[in-house]
Amino acid sequence: MTTADVEVRSQEDTVEILLTGEIDLSNSDAVKEKIFGSIDNRLVAVTIDLGGLSYIDSAGLRILFALAERLRLLQTACTVIAPVGTPTRRVLEMSGMTAVAQVKP
């Protein structure tokens, strides 16, 4: 089984979510539960930092797309941090994530 860590840093009306390790079908439900559990309707911005993520498959991408849609409905800004040149960044670009969330840097 792969391991993923979800760290949530809250400040007033913003949340930063740091994901490390690997996200795949075996742990995606637990990751989704932690991420969605940190989101409420009072937030103005959410940042998801994938800098420490070494692997993400389609199950992980579904989490990110579902989160982006939920934040859109809540009118909450969504930013995804993924270092240029990493496999995770390439997967985000190929999946179309850049059309539903701001991907930096």
Sorting pLDDT into bands at 50, 70 and 90, what band is 1?
A: low
Evaluate if residue 66 carries a pLDDT over 70.
yes
Residue 9 has pLDDT above 70, yes or no: yes
* pTM, entire model: 0.93
Q: Angle, to 10 degrees, between the axis of helix 58-73 and the axis of helix 28-37?
A: 20
Mean pLDDT of the 49-75 span: 96
Using the predicted structure, report yes or no on whether residue 83 has a pLDDT greater than 90.
yes
| Neighbour order of strands in the sheet with 14-23 | 4-11, 14-23, 45-56, 77-81, 102-104
Here the CATH number for the domain that contains residue 80 is 3.30.750.24
What mean pLDDT, rounded, does the chain reach? 95
Is the separation of the CB atoms in 32 and 61 below 8 Å? no
For 37-53, write each residue's pLDDT tens digit.
Answer: 999 989 999 999 999 99
Per cent of the chain over pLDDT 90 is 93
* Number of domains observed in the structure of the chain: 1
DSSP, collapsed to helix, strand or coil, labels residue 29 as helix
Q: Which domain holds residue 89?
A: 4-104
